[in-house]
């Protein structure tokens, strides 16, 4: 076991020991991000509280900034706040305005932050052990690493940690690494999850291969996704029966289809890791493949119904069916978003340092970040510079999403840091990982924000840069 992973595991055990005592006779207030990772993290923590009979409330939010933290601290009654998939950036504010007023705080997060010595603030963050929270541990793996040590009955819920990691795109071409790899081994040893080689498309079962290609948004297949003729033509030329699903093709059949897709896309080896890899499934088949389930949870967030994904993770059958219905709508919306991106590609502003996508109200702010990720992943745009999107999220507010490749981060680009510094310079708030981030800024400061981004980004990189 790597030294950093061992240090993380040791710290998780220490946090678990302290947390048992702190949770006694408490009502716990959970604030969590509403994406697949945040939903899975809160599901795991809620499972623990339920098994222990500890009352709790869950609130799905965008990451709280300093203003919201200060408001929480004003409560006269002593409270116990839990921040999942957020909170690390605001530790100084929490110490000054929340724990200093007698409240207790727990942060289980994977975004960059600083250590704390405050006895009223417990924190577990992989960055503090030398791990990269953008690819070696997500919020769900952090939460699981704590609650499983407090309650052994949760051991087999390890699959939720993998769902969070897949939702946050933490599976690299070589597979999971860091804490994620440790938990994958556990999931396989416990007989909870099984894996095999295959195409990494979502709808592997239940629909014909041609329909799987047509509705594919993760990955997005330029010229094929959303195109009924092209998506039907490729399997037909291979002699694949019209009704056969990917699962029914067998590994050899899937490989033939993958090669045909790579040839049609004209991208060769560049797309192979996007299309082909490991497929993860629950051994009891109670859910679709875990990659599809992660996107289904994201869909519940997109439709502003993360509580549906939360209930589905906890085993509610009706919620699971509803979550999969939301996924169908989500796929249609993302196909429309990607079509908009493709049509408008020539209009995007390109500077030596970044590519800017001003969507206005054409794409919902909650869907913009995923659109940017898909555009980079599918090679619709070169990965030679960061991709920055700006969308109106209210009358007076703009949401910004930033994406980069791991190659760019290896050159020193840190999108989360850029989002934070540029947003603060114009009266907003932002943050994130080295490879991705977001900010909320005043609408009338959007162009000033772009200038700040240009100032904060390092010198231009060479064309063609990729992870």
Residues 129-155: pLDDT tens digits?
Answer: 999 999 999 999 999 999 999 999 999
Query: Could you give the 3-state DSSP secondary structure of residue 352?
Result: coil
pLDDT of residue 464: 46
What average pLDDT is seen over the chain? 94
pLDDT of residue 463: 52
Percent of the chain surpassing pLDDT 90 = 93
In this structure, what is the dihedral angle of CA atoms 101, 102, 108, 109, given to the nearest 10 degrees?
10
Could you tell me the pLDDT band of residue 466, with boundaries at 50, 70 and 90?
Answer: very low
Q: Other C-beta atoms within 10 Å of 101: how many? A: 15
Percent of the chain surpassing pLDDT 70 = 98
Could you tell me the pLDDT band of residue 461, with boundaries at 50, 70 and 90?
Answer: low
- Which residue is it, tokens 């924000």? 449
Q: pLDDT per residue over 231-260, tens digit each?
A: 999 999 999 999 999 999 999 999 999 999
- Which residue is it, tokens 């081994």? 185
Least confident of 156-170, 257-271, 395-409: 257-271
219 preceded by a cis bond (ω within 30 of 0): yes
pLDDT of residue 143: 98
For helices 36-51 and 306-313, what crossing angle results, to 10°?
A: 50
d(CA 42, CA 40): 5
Closest CA to 168 of 134, 141, 144, 199: 134
State yes or no: pLDDT of 460 exceeds 90: no
**Phi, psi values for residue 122, rounded to 5°:** -95, 140
State yes or no: pLDDT of 349 exceeds 80: yes
DSSP H or E run through 440: strand 436-442
- How much is the average pLDDT of 23-44? 96
Domain ranges, ordered by start, for the chain: 3-154, 195-340, 348-456
Burial zone of 397 (CB within 10 Å; 0-12 exposed, 13-18 middle, 19+ buried): middle
d(CA 257, CA 234): 8
Q: pLDDT per residue over 165-219, tens digit each?
A: 999 999 999 999 999 999 999 999 999 999 999 999 999 999 999 999 999 999 9
d(CA 271, CA 255): 14
Closest CA to 310 of 44, 1, 18: 44
pLDDT of residue 467: 36
- How much is the average pLDDT of 80-99? 96
CATH of domain 3-154: 3.90.1640.30
- Which residue is it, tokens 């601290």? 73
Q: pTM of the entire structure?
A: 0.93
Token pair of 189, please?
């040893």
pLDDT of residue 267: 77
Asked if 42 and 84 touch (Cβ cutoff 8 Å), the reply is yes
CATH of domain 348-456: 3.10.310.40
């Amino acid at each position: 076991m790597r030294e950093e992973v061992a240090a993380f595991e040791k710290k998780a055990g220490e946090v678990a020991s302290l947390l048992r005592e702190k949770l006694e006779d408490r009502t716990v207030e959970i604030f969590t991000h509403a994406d697949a990772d945040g939903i899975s993290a809160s599901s795991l923590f809620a499972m623990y509280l339920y098994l222990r009979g500890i009352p709790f409330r869950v609130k799905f939010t965008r990451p709280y900034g300093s203003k919201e933290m200060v408001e929480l601290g004003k409560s006269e009654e002593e409270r116990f706040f839990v921040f999942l998939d957020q909170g690390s950036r605001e530790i100084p504010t929490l110490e000054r305005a929340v724990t200093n007023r007698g409240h207790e705080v727990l942060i289980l997060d994977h975004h960059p932050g600083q250590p704390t010595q405050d006895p009223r603030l417990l924190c577990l963050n992989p960055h503090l052990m030398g791990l990269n929270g953008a690819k070696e541990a997500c919020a769900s793996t952090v939460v699981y690493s704590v609650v499983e040590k407090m309650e052994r009955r949760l051991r087999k819920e390890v699959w939720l940690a993998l769902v969070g990691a897949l939702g946050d795109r933490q599976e690299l071409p070589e597979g999971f690494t860091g804490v994620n790899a440790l938990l994958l081994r556990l999931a396989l040893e416990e007989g909870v999850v099984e894996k095999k080689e295959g195409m990494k498309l979502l709808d592997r079962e239940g629909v014909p291969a041609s329909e799987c290609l047509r509705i594919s948004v993760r990955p997005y297949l330029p010229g094929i996704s959303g195109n009924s003729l092209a998506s039907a033509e490729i399997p037909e030329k291979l002699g694949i029966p019209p009704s056969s699903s990917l699962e029914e093709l067998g590994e050899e059949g899937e490989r033939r289809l993958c090669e045909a897709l790579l040839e049609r896309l004209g991208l060769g080896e560049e797309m192979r890791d996007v299309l082909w890899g490991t497929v993860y499934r629950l051994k009891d088949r109670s859910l679709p493949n875990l990659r599809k389930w992660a996107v289904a949870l994201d869909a519940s967030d997109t439709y502003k119904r993360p509580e549906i994904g939360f209930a589905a993770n906890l085993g509610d059958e009706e919620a699971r069916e509803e979550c999969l219905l939301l996924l169908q709508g989500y796929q249609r919306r993302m196909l429309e978003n990607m079509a908009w991106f493709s049509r408008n590609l020539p209009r995007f502003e390109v500077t030596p340092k970044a590519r800017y996508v001003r969507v206005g109200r054409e794409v919902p702010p909650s869907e913009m970040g995923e659109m940017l990720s898909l555009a980079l992943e599918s090679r619709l745009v070169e990965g030679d510079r960061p991709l920055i999107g700006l969308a109106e999220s209210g009358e007076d507010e703009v949401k910004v999403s930033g994406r980069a490749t791991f190659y760019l981060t290896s050159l020193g680009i840190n999108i989360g840091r850029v989002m934070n510094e540029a947003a603060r310079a114009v009266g907003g708030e932002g943050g994130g990982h080295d490879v991705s981030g977001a900010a909320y800024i005043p609408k009338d400061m959007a162009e000033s924000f772009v200038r700040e981004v240009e100032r904060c980004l390092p010198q231009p990189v060479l064309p063609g840069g990729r992870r």
